[in-house]
Amino acid sequence: MARRSLMAQGLTASTGMTGDLHEGPPLVAFDFDGTLTVRDSFTAFLKWRVSPARHALGMIRLFPAAVAYVFDRNRGKIKAAAVREFLRGVSLEQLEREARAFAQSQAPRLFRPDALAVWRRWRAKGARLVIVTASPDVIVAPFARGLGADLLIGSRLALDLNDRINGSLLGPNCRGPEKVIRLREQFGDDMSLAAAYGDTSGDREMLAIAHEKGYRIFRGKPG
């Protein structure tokens, strides 16, 4: 089977990013899950899109992967296992449609108000705002568009020749050093972050290259 990246189509164009990415306004990076939101958006999406019985069955089937994670601490492997269990065979078109519906219904329950306030503060300063997340980009894309993000960088799902999820990640899980690698792919090796915000050890490398380091500073709860 061929592998292709499942990208957040149209995000950059819809938010108006133009010109040279290496010059101009300050660049600010936000982790998504646990930073802008109160919980993991991907696991919430997987639970939202199926019946309680189907979700419970899927979690039982994922038990061996969970046990393996205790020993290898490989988040990419357990994420790929969840993708295989819940999303394999789903068309890209259907997944994008479901992601939009999920964002529309769940955004008020997910976003931290204090994190959104900082996001808007940087926007008012003319900063370029980038979401860098370990969650699949296609799931986070509707949220990113709603926020007016200039760019979304996330884990990528692989597709088969018929544009269906084949049950694996395309490339590494976007966590830890991979976040910095992906940022530098977009903005160059000499990139400089005015600020970065995160909440786990998976954000450590991204925070390390930022002038302003916001680690677990957001505590707000939705509504």
pLDDT in tens, 102-142: 999 999 999 999 999 999 999 999 999 999 999 999 999 99
Predicted confidence at residue 74, as pLDDT, reads 84
The answer to which of 6-15, 138-147, 165-174, 176-185 has the lowest mean pLDDT is 6-15
Average pLDDT on 59-65 reads 94
pLDDT category of residue 162 using cuts at 50, 70 and 90: very high
Rounded to whole angstroms, the Cα distance separating 103 from 107 reads 5
pLDDT band of 219, cuts 50, 70, 90: very high
- Exposure b/e, 159-196, CB count within 10 A at least 16 = b: beeeebbbbbbbeebbbbebbbebbeeebeeebebbbb
pLDDT more than 70, % of the chain: 90
- Mean pLDDT is highest, among 10-14, 69-73, 152-156, for 152-156
Average pLDDT over residues 167-181: 97
Q: Is the pLDDT of residue 33 over 70?
A: yes
Contacts of 91 (CB under 8 A, 6+ apart): 162, 163, 164, 165
Where do runs of H (alpha helix) occur along the chain?
11-15, 41-48, 52-61, 63-72, 75-87, 92-110, 113-124, 137-147, 177-187, 204-208
Question: How many whole angstroms from its chain centre is CA 93?
Answer: 19
**pLDDT over 90 percentage in the chain:** 85
- The domains found in the chain, sorted by start residue, are 4-215 (3.40.50.1000)
What is residue 211's three-state secondary structure? strand
Per-residue model confidence as pLDDT tens digits over 175-209: 999 999 999 999 999 999 999 999 999 999 999 99
| C-alpha span between 192 and 197 (Å, rounded) | 14
Mean pLDDT computed over 28-51? 97
Q: What is the pLDDT of residue 11?
A: 58
When pLDDT is cut at 50, 70 and 90, the band that residue 70 belongs to is: confident
Strand partners, 210: 193
> Which pTM was predicted?
0.89
- The rounded mean pLDDT for the chain is 91
